[in-house]
Amino acid sequence: MAQALPAALPEELGRPTPAVRPWSVVAGALSRSGGNFFIWAVLIFLVAFPVGAFLLLAFTPRLFGQGASWFTLSAFSQALQGKAFVALWNSIWVSFAVCALDIVIGGGVAWLSMRTNIGGRRIWPGFMWGLLLVPSYLIAQGWQYLLEPKGVTYQLGLYSPLLYHSFFSPAGVVFVDALVNAPFSYLTISAALGGLGSQYEEAVRVHGGGRLATFRVVAPVLAPAVLASIAIVFAETMSDYGVASTLAFQSRFQMATYGIFESISQLPANFGVAAVLSILLLAAAAIPIGIQSRVTRGRSYAILSGRTRPATRYRLGRPARLALTSIAALFFLLALGAPAFGAFLGSFVQNLGVPDGAQHLTLNAYKEVFSGSIAYGHVVQEGATGLLAPVLLSAELSAITATLTAVIGLAIARLLAARRPGKWTKAGDLLLVGSIALPGIVLGAGYIFAFNLPFTSRVGLDLYETLPLLVMGYLATSIPTQSRIMVGQVAQVHGSLMEAARVHGARALSAWRSAYVPVVSRVLVLAWLITFTKTFFELPISQLLYPPGKETVSVAINSWLSNYHYDIGTAMTVIALLANFLVIALVLGAFRLLAPEGWRRMGGWRPVG
């Protein structure tokens, strides 16, 4: 039987319904769907538009006013012959050589630090992360300061022509690239070793097998990690511009990334050949990815179950432990210690690397850098570009980029972590994956081409040779990577936190600040620091997009080095590194001292209780 309605409604329910305001309806619709569209539209504008237009130029130059043909392959015929083809082939074989070396280096350090009692096993992973943050061109330049004539080894009486000619050669390029990309191999293989228990090795020993038999059993289980290492290292080596523009260029060893830069920098610029080289570069980077997919398709590599036991750490004998510890220490000495020593000591050598100059230890390079007037012989260039202006500019641009990346990356990570992602999220996810593998030199070339078109000026996008365009290039490289890094932490945050805050009367912004930001504060700080560090020393995009008279740190350093003023270039490098580390220390210290106690606890900076 239906219950009778009350004779009168309560006062609150009896009030008339307020009129619906049109702007509130629009705001609600945007918050539900338009916000997602806006975020992905920003990413399309930053990545898909400039790169897509640049690559499309290789087939249809008339579409962009660069030729008379709607469809042509003439740019391919130009790129697949002469110096451009040699550069592409050099990049391919160097990448394969680096992959082979890094499987041994990265896999060896991972196995020694995780499965043996090698000395220093707790600090080697930290050194790997440190190596990951150092730009490749700084490592190449550090070795150059050591080995070149009239360099650091010359000052110490240890100069060797054999080492010099060996380093400034294709072998030296492979050597430096292997040092730079070893962390990628280490990270992929160590992740797989962490889930590999001891049951397979124990089963081999029970059946009388030795070390070779154990390797034959365990190696196939690690195949996905090894193939992933090959794919990542190959792509990173193919797309690296730092070594190609420093060591390889000075060794007269052409590589594809520098070939793209030369095609754009020449007068007149040959965007067609640069676009073709970019397409071939991306296609070559896809080779190991395709091999990985074909090998692993249809096979099972599942090893984790309820019966998996923690791995047993091998107890090395004293001679073996000492030898392997020495080998690991030697690798990090070659990767970090030697180039750092070369750069630091080289900054105190007057006329470093100058064959006909008198060398002696002095502080003149640092004085000239900070004074702003750089002296060469008897000529003093008043107001010449020193370090202070570039370092302040790079710090400012890096801080802006890091802040925008943290905000936009967090919004994208929330979309990617949704249980039921929409069509925009699925399409944007594909764009993010492709953007991560996109070489910086290709992105910078796309920005030069796309934002210099007459069309962009007609619609009011007069951004060519401006600092906002440079920041856009930085964002295009940082947002895809950092948003993917944030997904893991964001996916752990339950939506009920925001709902609980709203139930207790908090407005949307207040609920976001009090209930959500504290939980993800740690990943936000880390994303900010990583982005700041990477942007501070970013080279290819900076070199292509910096406005005249607005040199960044990386551009200023390479400018002085290319003019053979190595002492000033090394002084700039040392001070820039110290400034970067100072910013990192200040940010981490400020978070510990100024962030509320609850933020530090939920952010994971100190244990609860």
pLDDT in tens, 415-447: 776 666 666 666 666 666 667 667 888 888 888
The stretches of 9-134 forming alpha helices (DSSP H) are 11-14, 22-29, 35-43, 49-56, 74-79, 82-115, 124-133
Give me the percent of the chain exceeding a pLDDT of 70.
68
In this predicted structure, the answer to whether residue 546 has a pLDDT above a threshold of 80 is yes
| Model pLDDT, residue 350 | 67
Read off the pLDDT band of 231 (50, 70, 90): confident
Number of helices (H) and strands (E) in the chain: give both, helices first: 33, 2
| Model pLDDT, residue 400 | 94
* Measured CA angle at 449 (ends 46, 134), to 5 deg: 60
Read off the pLDDT band of 398 (50, 70, 90): very high
Model confidence pTM above 0.85: no
Read off the pLDDT band of 19 (50, 70, 90): very low
| Model pLDDT, residue 31 | 46
| Model pLDDT, residue 520 | 72
Tokens of 354: 């100058």
In this predicted structure, the answer to whether residue 151 has a pLDDT above a threshold of 50 is yes
Tokens of 219: 């190696």
Read off the pLDDT band of 325 (50, 70, 90): confident
| Model pLDDT, residue 20 | 43
| Model pLDDT, residue 423 | 67
Residues 6 or more apart from 471 whose CB is under 8 A from it? 397, 400, 401, 404
DSSP 374: E
Q: Which tens digits make up the pLDDT trace of 496-545?
A: 555 565 565 556 555 566 566 667 777 788 888 888 988 998 888 898 88
CA within 13 Å, CB half, 366: 12
Q: Which tens digits make up the pLDDT trace of 329-344?
A: 888 888 888 888 877 7
In this predicted structure, the answer to whether residue 391 has a pLDDT above a threshold of 60 is yes
The stretches of 240-304 forming alpha helices (DSSP H) are 242-243, 249-250, 256-265, 271-296
Average pLDDT of 372-397? 60
Q: How far apart are CA 65 and CA 177, in angstroms?
A: 39
Identify whether 390 is preceded by a cis peptide bond (ω within 30 of 0). no
* Mean pLDDT estimate for the chain: 74
Least confident of 101-105, 191-195, 355-359: 355-359
Average pLDDT of 117-130? 82
The better pLDDT of the pair 130, 14 is held by 130
Cβ atoms of residues 404 and 532 within 8 Å: no
In this predicted structure, the answer to whether residue 563 has a pLDDT above a threshold of 60 is yes
Tell me which residue of 239, 119, 116, 243 sits closest to 176, measured CA to CA. 243
DSSP 62: G
Q: How far apart are CA 226 and CA 185, in angstroms?
A: 8
Read off the pLDDT band of 274 (50, 70, 90): confident
Least confident of 4-13, 347-356, 417-426, 596-605: 4-13
Evaluate the CA torsion angle 123, 124, 126, 127 in order and state its sign. Answer: positive
Number of CB atoms found within 10 A of residue 590's CB = 11
Average pLDDT of 133-154? 81
| Model pLDDT, residue 205 | 65
Least confident of 5-19, 38-52, 463-477, 533-547: 5-19
Average pLDDT of 565-594? 82
Cβ atoms of residues 535 and 478 within 8 Å: yes
Burial annotation 126-150 (CB, 10 A radius, 16+ → b, else e): ebbeebbebbbbbbbbbbbbbbbeb
In this predicted structure, the answer to whether residue 12 has a pLDDT above a threshold of 60 is no
In this predicted structure, the answer to whether residue 379 has a pLDDT above a threshold of 50 is no
* 318, amino acid identity: R
Lookup result for tokens 């790129």: 79
Cβ atoms of residues 281 and 239 within 8 Å: yes
Name all domains of the chain by residue range, CATH numbers in brackets. 74-296+326-346 (1.10.3720.10), 386-602 (1.10.3720.10)
CA within 13 Å, CB half, 376: 10
In this predicted structure, the answer to whether residue 297 has a pLDDT above a threshold of 90 is no
Cβ atoms of residues 463 and 411 within 8 Å: no
H/E segment holding residue 406: helix 388-416
The better pLDDT of the pair 191, 315 is held by 315
CA within 13 Å, CB half, 428: 28
In this predicted structure, the answer to whether residue 210 has a pLDDT above a threshold of 70 is no
Number of residues that make up the chain: 609
Cβ atoms of residues 461 and 49 within 8 Å: no
Least confident of 223-237, 261-275, 377-391: 377-391
Distance between terminal CA atoms of the chain?
Answer: 57
Using CA atoms, how far residue 279 sits from 52, 126, 275, 284, 312, in Å, is 11, 36, 6, 9, 47
| Model pLDDT, residue 195 | 56
The better pLDDT of the pair 586, 158 is held by 586
Cβ atoms of residues 135 and 175 within 8 Å: no
| Model pLDDT, residue 403 | 92
Q: How far apart are CA 350 and CA 149, in angstroms?
A: 14
Tell me which residue of 446, 313, 458 sits closest to 47, measured CA to CA. 446
In this predicted structure, the answer to whether residue 105 has a pLDDT above a threshold of 60 is yes
